[in-house]
């Protein structure tokens, strides 16, 4: 089961130009988004641990996003 609410993902898609979003497309967007967040979090966590921290900071996320 998805953790992200489908309605929120559909709103984001519509705010970025999608006129309509089918249920299969919305489910695919949620799945891909959750996969991206998981990957980004893993990479950011590596950076935080390397810096001797357990807490993720914005800079960790930004650096992880640049390297992905």
- For domain 6-67, give the CATH number: 1.10.20.10
Q: What is the Cα–Cα distance from 67 to 7, expressed in whole angstroms?
A: 30
pLDDT of residue 2: 79
Task: Express each pLDDT in 17-68 by its tens digit.
Answer: 999 999 999 999 999 999 999 999 999 999 999 999 999 999 999 999 998 7
Specify the pTM: 0.88
Contact 30, 8 (CB under 8 A): no
Distance CA 14, CA 29 (A): 12
Over residues 35-47, the pLDDT tens digits come to: 999 999 999 999 9
Domain ranges of the chain: 6-67
d(Cα 68, Cα 66) in Å, to the nearest integer?
Answer: 6
| pLDDT in the model for residue 68 | 76
């Amino acid at each position: 089961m998805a953790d992200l609410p489908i309605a929120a993902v559909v709103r984001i898609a519509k705010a970025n130009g999608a006129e309509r979003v089918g249920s299969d497309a919305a489910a695919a967007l949620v799945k891909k988004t959750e996969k991206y967040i998981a990957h980004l979090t893993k990479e950011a966590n590596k950076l935080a641990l390397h810096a001797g921290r357990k807490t993720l900071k914005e800079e960790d996320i930004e650096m992880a996003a640049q390297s992905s």
